A = this chain, B = another copy of it.
Amino acid sequence: MILRDPVHGLVSFESEEAEIVPALLETKEIQRLRRIRQLGLTCLAYPGAEHTRFAHAVGAAFVMTRLVNRLRQIHDQLPFWQRVTTERARDAIAAALLHDVGHGALSHLFEEALPDGPPHEEWTRRIVLDPKSEIHAVLAKVDSTLPSRVADLVRGRHQLTFLARAVSGTFDVDRCDYLLRDAYSTGVGYGNFDLDWLLRSFRFGVPENENVAPPLAIDGAKGLPAIESFILARLFMFQQVYFHKASRASEFMLSRILGRARQNVLDGSPVDDLPKAIASIAQTGDAQLGDYLDVDDGVLWGAIATWRSAKDPVLADLCRRLYQRSLFKTYELYGPALAPERRQLALERAREVAKRAGLDPDVYVGLDEASDVPFDDAEEPLTVIFPRGQPRKPGDVSFLLGRLRGERLERVRLVFAPELRDGIIEAVGE
């Protein structure tokens, strides 16, 4: 099977260990990912951000095939029982493809808006392990223990730590693909990094003891810029895309919409066209797998379209706004205004403005706190190896990473309906 991918070019799954990919791609659970956008509502801020989880899943599996090739170039130094066999390679490729198969509609937004329900990791686990899923069938046909091995790998568990971290770690194949893909689709060039060079820079480090496999490491002479640019690409994507004010504002609106729909259910007046899974999660905190998988972006947008004429006027209003991209506005807090008590004070004042305007402050005003630590090697097992001397931490040898280590990037904003703008700026502005 060969594919043309805009990010990786010619993508092929033809080796024995990659043959599981075409089989998995035919399952309905993977095909469903075609109907879920990778970046949820971000296309409201970046018109090009329309790529789906399907393309990303394929990309992550492909990066894993390349990483496996690299591991084999360097695994001569390992005892044979720590090497990447065909079976282990197949497990890792399957795990890379399936790592996020449990994501709900609009990717992470679904679970964030319905926090009572299971997280997507749990849905992934169920899909892989449920004997009724087509994915389980494909995996179990190969080997009855494969489903559980894949489920473990997806959670970052494997005898060979370097393989586990390739599925779930700082430099995992998931991030390798989504950074490149999100950058490509949004047009935010800063999100690029040199994947060829990164893969080529991997070495094996020093194992903790002779009974365990060594962690991955970076070739100090050649590889530092590869991980520096990876970390920076991720930082830029957070600053420019993932924390973009229009994305965050629309996500806030969606969470209020789903919260409101949930409340209607709990109040005994469910809205029309409510997907069964949402009703069930609202009432019981869980849902049937089949019902969960029935909800994709189209279904959710369909519900929002219907709810524009819901009886609940607040729900109807929110849906009309989001459907037509009349987004909430934001006001960012800087410097001293970031102190916890000042944030709360700002929120309180904004809520007062909403109340005076006759708008429900729980719905029309909020405090959005986005944050990330772009780089920290305190817990990171990846080391840098030089021809001479001990393995060293990336932050100790990189000019850039040493200065970013442990630093927190934060964006804190008031979010509110546009008509409250002047009032809120007056109430909280300097």
A residues sitting closer than 8 Å to B (CB atoms) are: 2-7, 9-10, 12, 26, 28, 31, 34-35, 37, 43-44, 46-48, 50-52, 54-55, 58, 184-190, 192, 194, 196-197, 200, 222, 224-225, 228-229, 232, 235-236, 239-240, 294, 296-299, 301-302, 305, 323-326, 334, 388-389, 397, 399-400, 403-404, 407, 409, 429-430
Contact = CB atoms under 8 A, between A and B. Distances in A.
Contact of A190 (B12, B47, B229): B229
Given A187-B6, A200-B12, A399-B407, A43 B34 contact: yes
B46 A4 contact: yes
A50 B39 CA distance: 13
Nearest to A305: B294
Contact of A225 (B55, B190, B323, B409): B190
24 contacts: A3-B46, A3-B47, A4-B48, A4-B186, A5-B187, A6-B48, A9-B196, A10-B196, A26-B324, A26-B326, A31-B323, A31-B325, A34-B43, A35-B301, A47-B54, A47-B58, A50-B52, A50-B55, A296-B301, A298-B299, A298-B302, A388-B429, A388-B430, A389-B430
B187 A4 contact: yes
Indicate how many identical chains form the complex.
4
A73 B187 CA distance: 24
Given A298-B302, A403-B407, 13 more contacts: A3-B47, A6-B184, A9-B196, A10-B196, A10-B197, A26-B325, A26-B326, A31-B325, A47-B58, A50-B50, A224-B239, A232-B400, A302-B302
A325 to B, nearest CB: 5
B55 A48 contact: yes
A232 B189 CA distance: 13
Contacts of A47: 3, 5, 52, 54-55, 58
| Most chain B CB neighbours (cut-off 10 Å) among A55, A225, A229, A400 | A400
| Most chain B CB neighbours (cut-off 10 Å) among A222, A324, A430 | A324
Nearest to A240: B225
The 4 A-B pairs at the shortest CB distance, nearest first, are namely A298-B298, A6-B187, A47-B55, A6-B48
B4 A324 contact: no
A9 B187 contact: yes
Contacts of A334: 397
A48 B56 CA distance: 9
B200 A2 contact: yes
Given A5-B187, A399-B239, A324 B43 contact: no
Given A48-B51, A334-B397, A189 B184 contact: no
A54 B404 CA distance: 38
A404 B403 contact: yes
Contacts of A35: 301
A186 B4 CA distance: 7
Nearest to A229: B190
Contacts of A302: 298-299, 302
Contact of A50 (B26, B51, B228, B298): B51
A10 B409 contact: no
A430 B305 CA distance: 53
Contacts of A407: 399, 403
B200 A190 contact: no
A411 to B, nearest CB: 10
Nearest to A410: B399
Contacts of A239: 224-225, 399
Contacts of A28: 323-324
Contacts of A46: 3-4
A322 to B, nearest CB: 10
Contacts of A48: 4-7, 51, 55
Contacts of A194: 9, 189-190
Given A5-B48, A31-B325, A185-B6, A225 B229 contact: no
A71 to B, nearest CB: 16
A2 to B, nearest CB: 7
